[in-house]
Structures are given as C-alpha cells and as structure tokens.
Amino acid sequence: MFANFDFDVIWRSLPYLFRDGMTFTLSLTALATAGGLVLGTLFAMLRLSAFTPLAKMIAGYVNLIRSLPLVLVIFWFYFLIPYVGQWVLGTARPIPIGAFPSVAITFTLFEAAYFAEIMRAGIQSIPRGQVAAGYALGLTYWQVMGSVVLPQAVRNMLPVLFTQTIVLFQDTSLVYVVSLPDFLGAASKVAQRDGRLVEMYLFAAVIYFVVSYGASRLVRRLEARVAIAS
Amino acid sequence: MIEIRDVSKWYAQFHVLKRCSTAVGQGEVVVVCGPSGSGKSTLIQCVNGLEPFQEGEIRVDGISVGAPGTDLPKLRARVGMVFQHFELFPHLRIRENLCLAQEKVLKRSRDAAMAKAAALLERVGLREQVDKYPGQLSGGQQQRVAIARALAMDPIAMLFDEPTSALDPEMIKEVLDVMVALAQDGMTMMVVTHEMGFARKVADRVVFMDRGEIVEDAGKDAFFGSPRSDRAQLFLSKILAH
C-alpha cells in the first residue's frame, strides 16, 4: 500500500490545504466558539434567572438543539435562513446569505446550546455566599455576574470548555454537506482530482490528530496555570 | 440607624421569623445570640435585603429595605457585611478584593481605592498580604481582610453574621480584636455571634432569639446579670458553662 505512496501530492497541495482549508476551519471554529460562548453564557444566566417564561424557552431550545444531529441542523439552516430573512425583512425573494455566514450562524447557535449547559454547571458551582458577598458590597446583578461569578465559573469549566472547542474543531468538517471548502473538504477535493484518496485522507487524519491532541495537551498546561492559587 | 419592626418571614410553611422588632442606634453595638436555627442569621440577612421577608418593616438610615422602589445596591453599599465563611473572592488578589466595589460602586479612582485599601489592611495588620490570593491566607487573616473589604466602602453600619464560627480557636481572638477596636471607634454594629466575651466587652445591648422570636432585648448588664426568660437563662448556662 505504501509502495506507491505519493508524498508529492501532499507537498504540492499544502498551500491550498492550509491557506484555504485550514484558514476556513480555524475561522469557523474561532467564530463559533466566541459566539457560542457569549450566547451560551447569556442562555445559562437566563435559564437560571427568576424570569421563568424565558428560562423555559431557553431550556426548550437547548434541549431541542442538543437532541438533533449537527448535520441536520446545518442543512436546515442553510436552506431555511434565506426564507427566514425574507419573512423578517418582508422581501419578495429569499435573502441570499452565502454559505459561510450561514454555517457560521448555524455553528454559533448550535454550540451556544452546549456552552449554555457547561456554563450553567459552572455558574451553579459557585457557592451562594459568593453572590451574597457581591450583593452585600452594593454590586448589581450584572456586576456580580461579571466580576464574581462568571470569572470563577469559566475557570472551573475551562477543561470542559476547551474539550468542547476541540470537538467543534473536528465537527466543522461537517460543512462538506453544503460543499464548503474546509480543511477536510480541501483535502477531499485534491484526493478526488488526483485520485490520491489514501494519501490525502491519511494526511488529513494526521493533521486533525496533531491539532486536536496538541490542543488538549496545551489545555492541560494552561489549566495548571490559571487554577486559583490556594 | 437600623429599625426592625414586626418582621415575619416564612420559608414555605416554616415560620422562620416571628414578628421580630429591635433597633440599633447610631454608634450602638448590638449582639444577637441564640441557639442555632433560631433565625438570627436570617434576621441579619434581612437587614440589607439579602433575604426577603413577607411582613413588617426594616429601615436603615430611614430607608425601607423591603419597599419595592428601594435601590438595594445603593443601600447595601452603605452597610458593610461580614460573613461566617469570609466570602472573599478567591480568583482576585487581596488588593482587588478591596478595590472591586470601591471602583465599581463608589466610582473611586484606582489610586484612591488603593490608598484606602492599603490604609485598611494596615489597620487589620495585613499590609504585607496585599498581593496574595485569599486561599494563601489563614482563616483569621481572611476574615480580617473581609472586614477591611467591608470598611473600604465607608459604611454607616456593619453587620456581622457569625464572623468567628468558622474559625479555628486560635484565630478567633485576632478577628475579635479587630471588631472590638471597631466598636470602640464608634461604629454602629449588629453582630450575630456566640462570643459572649465580645458581648460583655463592647455590646450596648444583647438580643436573644429562639425559634424565630426575639425573646429578650436588654442592656448588656441586665442580660448577663438577670435574664428574664427561662430560655435565655438556659442558653446562657449552656454557653457560659465551659
């Protein structure tokens, strides 16, 4: 099998794979992580708030999204968002939104559901006395959240948050269903074009492994550094 | 300064506070004691609105705590509170623990907040610890920092919720010393504690609670000399026996 292994095809396609493919994958990962974390944190706060109708709605959303396969959600959003745009803006035609914004929105909303659960656990891990102490000093709800609860919640949940991000990094490859050129998609294209499936898919696997495993090692070292001194 | 009138509170069916009334005047030190579960911590947490109550009224400096229009954050900023478990913010250095609310609530400049923090840490004897994290300090040191943090807001009154109950015996004195000094400086204080030595030394009045009721509310000498109720007598005999 390795006798006629063609390393040259990998070498030749490197610029395309990384400049186009990996850039796309990393941008999508970064965007969805940032957006998902912010939105997810907001969801978690609302879900834990005393405002029950909204809390129930958020709970419903989180449970729904977490029960659906990501591929299905990507499909749905890709075909649905133009029509939602048409309905919201009242235009005559569906709003063309472009594949990248579409999947960026999809991944953000999808990840928000997962991050919401992680952040909910994180917020609940903070003793009530901490919140009381914040209030007793005259801080408002948002100040208590921003300065006391969330910084500790994020620290407590850091390993899980990073693990989720690494999973997301791998999951971005699912954009192939809407024909977007992420890293795996780019490798796949070259593989099909040059008839070098084994080389390209093996290489893609190696890169995913190196990035994911490297990131998880990095997380462990980071964890030790940000752990609250005690 | 603090007026508590006919305050009642229920947790579902459970009647935690039963028509409690007392007051803490300007510069007065009132010690609240009683067996555990008597509602004393709940009562003190009602004073700055950390616990809601269903009936009665609490006024702090004339402002009604339970009234719907009250700006609770603003009111709480003027009343210092010290907790049983210190509740320093573990992710922040001591200096940030003292500066956070000064900057966010009182809008003090960094320099002004730091100056205040340094002066107060000096006062509680912990100036050297300014760059440490709470977890690096002993319980007694943490509680002194917590007192300094509350004082940094220039409070008109201080509430202490069992400030020495979570401390090892050898650390209780260092915290009580700070509280005694504070009392002698004329701070208005409401203190939930079992430390009868502290009460004897600086209290003006002692409030005894049992099963959600204020059973006795008397001057220090009257309370320790001749408690009127059987329950207070029993409590005192138990707590002073050792």
Considering only alpha carbons, which residue of chain A is nearest residue B72?
Answer: A138
Q: Are A230 and B77 within 8 A, CB to CB?
A: no
Give this complex's ipTM. 0.93
Residue A10's pLDDT band, with cuts at 50, 70 and 90, is confident
A5-14, B92-101, B207-216: which is most confident: B92-101
Considering only alpha carbons, which residue of chain B is nearest residue A143?
Answer: B104
B11: β partners: B14
Q: What is the 3-state secondary structure (H, E, C) of B62-92?
A: CEECCCCCCCHHHHHHCEEEECCCCCCCCCC
Strands B14-24 and B2-11: antiparallel
Q: Give the one of B80, B85, B91 whose C-beta lies nearest to A151's C-beta.
A: B91
Q: Are A135 and B85 within 8 A, CB to CB?
A: no
According to the model, what pLDDT value does residue A135 have?
A: 96
Q: Supply the mean pLDDT for chain B.
A: 93
| Rounded Cα gap, residues A67 and B118, in angstroms | 54
| Rounded Cα gap, residues B157 and B176, in angstroms | 17
> Which residue in A125, A131, A137, A225 has the most chain B C-beta atoms within 10 A of its own C-beta, making it the best mutation to test that interface?
A137
For A107-147, how does the pLDDT look when each residue is reduced to its tens digit (9 = 90+)? 999 999 999 999 999 999 999 999 999 999 999 999 999 99
Among the residue ranges A72-86, A195-209, B180-194, the one predicted with the least confidence is A72-86
- Helix (H, G, I), strand (E, B), or coil: what is residue B229? coil
Residue B222 burial (C-beta neighbours within 10 Å; 0-12, 13-18, 19+): middle
A183-194 and A23-48 helices cross at what angle (nearest 10)? Answer: 150
| Whether A148 contacts A156, CB under 8 Å | no
- Give chain A positions within 8 Å (CB) of B105: 137-139, 143
Considering only alpha carbons, which residue of chain B is nearest residue A136?
Answer: B76
B20 touches chain A (CB under 8 A): no
According to the model, what pLDDT value does residue A81 have?
A: 82
For B106-137, how does the pLDDT look when each residue is reduced to its tens digit (9 = 90+)? 999 999 999 999 999 999 999 999 999 999 99
What is the number of CB-based contacts under 8 A between chain A and chain B?
A: 74
| Rounded Cα gap, residues B187 and B160, in angstroms | 12
| Rounded Cα gap, residues A48 and A56, in angstroms | 10
